[in-house]
Amino acid sequence: MPELPEVETVRRGLELLVKGRHIAHVICRVPKLRLPLDPHLPEQLVGQLVQSISRRAKYLLFNLQEGTLLLHLGMSGVLRLVDPDCPPAKHDHVDIILDDGQLLRYNDARRFGLIIYLNSDPFSSRLLQHLGPEPLGADLPGDYLFTRSRKRQLAIKNFIMDQKILVGVGNIYASEALFAAGVDPRRQAKSLKRKESIKLLQSIQAVLAEAISAGGTTLKDFRRSDGKPGYFKQQLQVYGRKGEGCHQCEGQIQHVVLGQRSTFFCAACQK
C-alpha cells in the first residue's frame, strides 16, 4: 500500500481541486471494503461542502461542513480525479461527483481500503484514537524511539512499523530508513543505543520527506491523484533489491522475513 508519503501525495494532489466544492452525487458499487460500506453514505455526503483535506497517519480526512469522510487506501487503493465521462472499470468501487462536475473515483483491487463517514470528532473514533505520533510532526522529541523501546523485545523493524508507536511507516520505508540509519532490522528494539535511535528517527523523517518530494513510490498499483506514478522507486536503496549490489559497499542486499513481511538490508552497512 500506500504508506505515508503516498497518502500525502494524494492529499496534496486533491486538496486544491476539491476544496470549496460541494458533493453532488455519490455512487457505491460494492457492499464492503475492509468494513461494510454504509448504505446511507450517499445521503450523508451529498450537499456537503468540502472544507479541506487533511491526513492522519495513512488516513485521508475530507473535512466536511458537518462531519468527516475518512478514507484509507489499504494495500491497493487508488483515489483519483478522472474524466467525468469515463465509464467505471473493474474495481472502481466508489464515485464522488462534485458540484463542478469533477469525478473523484476510488479503485481498489484488493478491497483492503476503507471509506466511512464520521459525524463526531474523528480523532476520538475507534480507528484513529490509538494512533501514535506523526513522524514528521514538529513536537516529536529526538529520543522518542529510545524512550518507547526500552522494554521492547521485538525486531526494531516491526517496532517502527507499529502504528501505536509511530504512524505512517510501512514495509518499504521501514527497510529504507533502517538502511539509512545503518541499523540491522533484526535487532531487538531495546538493544538500540540512544544515539542509534536518534539517528533512526532522523532517517525515518528524511526518507519519508524525500519520498513525499518524489511523489511517493510506485511499485505496481500506486498512482497520484492525477494518475501519474510516484518517482521514489529509483531512489530505493534496499527494498526489492535482494541479491543486488549495495550502493554503499561491495556487499549484496540480503532478504529476511520479519513479522511475515519481506525485509531487505545490507549486512555490511547495517549493524
Partner DNA sequence: ACGCTCTCCTGGCCGC
Partner DNA sequence: TGCGGCCAGGAGAGCG
SS3 of 12, please? helix
User: CB 44 → DNA: shortest distance, Å?
Assistant: 21
Which residue's CB is nearer to DNA, number 55 or number 199?
A: 55
- The C-alpha atoms of residue 263 and residue 185 are separated, in whole angstroms, by 8
User: CB 51 → DNA: shortest distance, Å?
Assistant: 24
The 177-216 site mask, x for binding DNA (CB under 7 A), equals ----------------------------------------
Residue pair 128/56 in contact by the 8 Å Cβ criterion: yes
- Among residues 116, 50, 52, 105, which one has the least CA distance to residue 79? 105
3 is catalytic: yes
Q: Is 72 in the site for DNA (CB under 7 A)?
A: yes
- The C-alpha atoms of residue 188 and residue 145 are separated, in whole angstroms, by 13
User: Contact with DNA (CB under 7 A): which of 127, 136, 214, 267?
Assistant: 127
Q: Is 112 in the site for DNA (CB under 7 A)?
A: yes
User: Contact with DNA (CB under 7 A): which of 40, 89, 130, 234?
Assistant: 130
The 8-class DSSP code of residue 2 comes to -
Q: Is 22 in the site for DNA (CB under 7 A)?
A: no
Q: Is 34 in the site for DNA (CB under 7 A)?
A: yes
User: Contact with DNA (CB under 7 A): which of 17, 24, 46, 75?
Assistant: 75
Residue pair 174/157 in contact by the 8 Å Cβ criterion: yes
141 is catalytic: no
Amino acid at 137: G
State the cell numbers at 203: 532517517
User: CB 54 → DNA: shortest distance, Å?
Assistant: 15
Residue pair 246/168 in contact by the 8 Å Cβ criterion: no
Distances (CA, A) of 148 to 105, 152, 166, 167: 39, 8, 10, 14
The stretch near DNA (CB under 7 A) out of 79-87, 146-154, 176-184, 245-253 is 146-154
Label the pairing between strands 114-118 and 103-108.
unpaired
Chain residues that interact with DNA, rule: CB under 7 A: 1-3, 6, 34, 57-58, 72, 74-76, 90-91, 109-112, 126-127, 130, 151-155, 158, 161, 163, 170-172, 217-222, 259-262
Q: Which residues are catalytic, by number?
A: 2-3, 58, 261
